A and B are shown apart, each in its own frame.
Chain A
């Protein structure tokens, strides 16, 4: 069976992936450089019986998605930096109430409204720490159009499996560039659906049954009566001020990530086997790094690339192991140094960690990265 070959933008591939993962509801507020995600969702969802709603603002955009997810829909909202800031409170709400949701942030330049049409990677720490309080976070970042498609599907699956918001953190580079993508058949796609209770069960909305990862999730309005609150709650879903209960709930929420890192964390390595030097880059900037590694290898320099695909939880163990192997790590990102803080934390004193980045709305070119890389040689 011939697969469909298309020439798509990352943003378009995101919607194609979302539909294959089972998205039936999109709500949001259009913002450059993510607007194509809203546009294409608006065009495609009504044709499959789904719903698209343009809300009055970014906050309502995520709020409506949370509500729709609670009724059983698979939901997505997309935004960029300014909107991501506005969505933070509700990301925490979805984390505590365990509501599956995919939030796409196509990163652009600058704080505030900054540079709407230019790339940036300044929201890496915000994706982890943007909402208040400790909370579980899954954040994925693609470096190609095809991977945007794949990771959108994965984001939906992880959201459903672990009952939590999942952030797809892309950037203007991958969001807007067009490249070739072979779209698989629906039958080739692995789709995970949330586990629902059966009518007649003695249902407690926030109780984890033996053998389950998370509480079963009843479609709101389908005959199960339960309560959803952003307050700490017990297994019935009603608020509880008990510190013992709050401790148990927080442990359980955090453990969804901690106990399942092997399932959640993925990364790509290029030429790391015999590497003496390592470049660490992600998202659109990884394309710069891939070109740089090729050029440097052609010059006989033993350099490899480590590309986290899962940014959060960070692949601590693998980065630590690599830091024992190489002489030097250079972290390339479009900001003033965000993921490098995590790399330094993990690497400790195993090897020097250097930074190559900028945040003026330009991409990092392979030449710039190579120049910085060669400063230590």
Chain B
């Protein structure tokens, strides 16, 4: 299980977290790693609590679902309430700073960061909060290379939004660097 990332991305339907999961998995493939992405959502197309999960490993992956994540991100309070307490002891929790965390939460690292605020104020569009989050996760874990991540992002986003997404990625990296410095 060493060096295997079991990541859960949770939020509200429409926040682009499934897309973020796919992008991260595709970046892992570019780095010649194995990756599987799954998701769970309700019957509704928007809203609710949805989650995307990604397993990235150097080995082949049999069971495709994340049972207990070692990194978990939540962008909404509802998703946080539903999913955030599932985490390994040495795991990392990342939530948006609009979220109130439950009192009894055990994890190695717990970060509350202005992910959505950064997307709105520093990039200019809330819709790229998923890319800010990706930059943050990748800088914290080093699970994929920067080159592969950027390549994967650019191949999944609509034409004309390249600069916007590159800026979002840069701001995500900076959020992580603020923690690590």
Residues of A within 8 A of B (CB): 5, 7, 32, 116-118, 173, 176-180, 284, 287-288, 290-291, 294, 363, 365-367
Contact = CB atoms under 8 A, between A and B. Distances in A.
A287 B63 contact: yes
A291 B63 contact: yes
B10 to A, nearest CB: 15
Chief secondary structure at chain A's binding surface: mixed
5 contacts: A173-B38, A177-B38, A287-B62, A288-B63, A290-B62
A363 B26 contact: no
Contact of A7 (B25, B62, B63): B25
B38 A180 contact: no
Contact of B64 (A5, A116, A173): A173
B25 A5 contact: no
A120 to B, nearest CB: 14
B42 to A, nearest CB: 6
A363 B62 CA distance: 13
B4 interface: no
Contacts of B25: 7, 178
Contact of B35 (A116, A173, A179): A179
A366 B63 contact: yes
A180 B62 contact: no
Nearest to B40: A117
Nearest to B61: A179
A180 B35 contact: yes
B41 A7 contact: no
Contact of B62 (A32, A117, A177, A294): A294
A178 B37 contact: yes
Interface string B9-36: 0000000000000100110010000111
B109 interface: no
A24 B28 CA distance: 35
B67 interface: yes
Given A7-B29, A117-B41, A178 B22 contact: yes
Contacts of A179: 35-37, 61, 64
Contacts of A366: 62-63, 67
Nearest to B41: A117
Contacts of A5: 29
A177 B41 contact: no
A367 B63 CA distance: 11
Contact of A287 (B26, B42, B64): B64
B64 A177 contact: yes
Contact of B39 (A116, A176, A288): A176
B63 A365 contact: yes
Contact of A367 (B35, B37, B41, B67): B67
Interface string B54-75: 0000000111110100000000
B154 to A, nearest CB: 15
Contacts of A117: 40-43
B14 to A, nearest CB: 15
B43 A116 contact: yes
A340 to B, nearest CB: 21
